[in-house]
Amino acid sequence: MVSLSTLKTLIFTLGPLLLPRIISYFRTVRTKSLTSPVPIRPTPSTIIPSLNILFISTVLFLLSTLPHFSPPNIFTLTSSRILTPNDVLFTRLSLIHPNAALTPIDELLRPRLASLDARCLYLTYGPSVLAHCPFCNSDSPSSYLYYALPSLLLPHILHLFALGLATSGSISGKEGSRWRTTAVIVGTVLAAGDLYLLASYDFKANARAARAEDLVHFHWRMRTFRGIAIAIADVGLAGLLWAAATNRMFVVPPSVAERMEGAMRVLESVRGRLGAVGIVRNVVVRDEGLRRKGEVYWKREGQVMAEVMDEREVVEGISGALGSGRVQVATIEEEARKYAEGIVGGIDGIGVLGAETR
């Protein structure tokens, strides 16, 4: 197994090279997201169930690292060395239990912990494997690995199931399904890494431990690391889901078909409103009372605007603006001409198109 000193060397060697690149990558992604035409939006309701699933998974795997949910460790409970005689070891253990009685699993372990290799295997694979494996023996250490595989892979299978639910299209929609491959890869890498660490660990490393403090409780340590690593992976995936779904990072611009569909919806809405305005206008024109009120309103409006334009302050303001050149009358007239031609030209184009279709 890779030693702690080797890991430290790799971290101090590769860290200064990789860390700036990682920071630069996230800054680039963040900048693209901020300059993207797609606006930041609130958390969509479609990914809330996925976030809840990942939260529950994180909490459960963190709870699994607590000592209360871990199997008891004989050497930790009795503060014994690896070479402590078997009778002394289990006598100390019995004094810890109520009524000085051993548990059923302790009775199974008592004859199997007689040798040094068996005790090293106990610290590597845990009490359940050593107590219940029917075909394992110290002469074939790999047999313990084969028996431990189901219990080793079970939490990773459950984790992959949770990741599959969280990134399912039926639960999280397209916001979550785009991360399905990434989630499966992360879960598989965690399982493969866990299996590699157990398979490559030298179970005889504890044979050289002279004191109880020098013992490496590999099985219990790996339970803790496993739960923390899976929880970190779940938190990271939840962060990716949230950032991508709210368009804060990893923004995917809408496709041409989606943009056209959105534009068509807007045009249909505008067309409906224009139709409603036309209906109201038609009703006003056809009704004599409403038509008379409309005529009175516009006549009164003309009188009011004429009175306003005849006021001295307005006349002086218009004269000053025209005289100083702040208002270009020719430019305004040209823009009005183009605007009117655009409207009339659009109507003429519609008429020509209708005539051609007929």
173 confidence band (pLDDT: 50, 70, 90): confident
Mean pLDDT lowest among 51-55, 291-295, 349-353 = 349-353
* Residue 354 confidence (pLDDT): 47
Average pLDDT over residues 131-138: 88
Q: How does pLDDT run across 197-249, given as a tens digit for each residue?
A: 999 988 888 888 888 888 889 999 999 999 999 999 999 999 989 988 887 77
* Residue 254 confidence (pLDDT): 67
Q: Which DSSP string corresponds to 275-340?
A: HHHHHHHHHHHHSHHHHHHHHHHHHHHHHHHHHHHHSHHHHHHHHHHHHHTSS-HHHHHHHHHHHH
Q: Give the three-class secondary structure for 103.
A: coil
Q: Tell me: pLDDT of 192 over 90.
A: yes
For residue 331, give the amino acid letter: T
* Residue 353 confidence (pLDDT): 42
Interatomic CA distance for residues 221 and 76, integer angstroms: 13
* 3-state secondary structure string across 122-178: HHHHCHHHHHHCCCCECCECHHHHHHHHHHHHHHHHHHHHHHHHHCCHHHHHHHHHC
* Residue 114 confidence (pLDDT): 87
* Residue 146 confidence (pLDDT): 93
**Burial zone of 248 (CB within 10 Å; 0-12 exposed, 13-18 middle, 19+ buried):** middle
Question: 347 CB contacts (<8 Å, ≥6 apart)?
Answer: none
Q: How far, rounded to the nearest angstrom, does the alpha carbon of residue 64 sit from its chain's CA centroid?
A: 22
Question: 63 CB contacts (<8 Å, ≥6 apart)?
Answer: 69, 227
Q: Which of 153, 146, 218 is nearest to 190 (CA)?
A: 153
Question: 183 CB contacts (<8 Å, ≥6 apart)?
Answer: 163, 164, 166, 167, 237
Choose between 205 and 187: higher pLDDT: 187
Tokens of 302: 């003309």
Q: Give the three-class secondary structure for 32.
A: helix
Choose between 94 and 331: higher pLDDT: 94
Average pLDDT over residues 115-119: 90
Task: State what percent of residues in the chain have pLDDT above 90.
Answer: 28
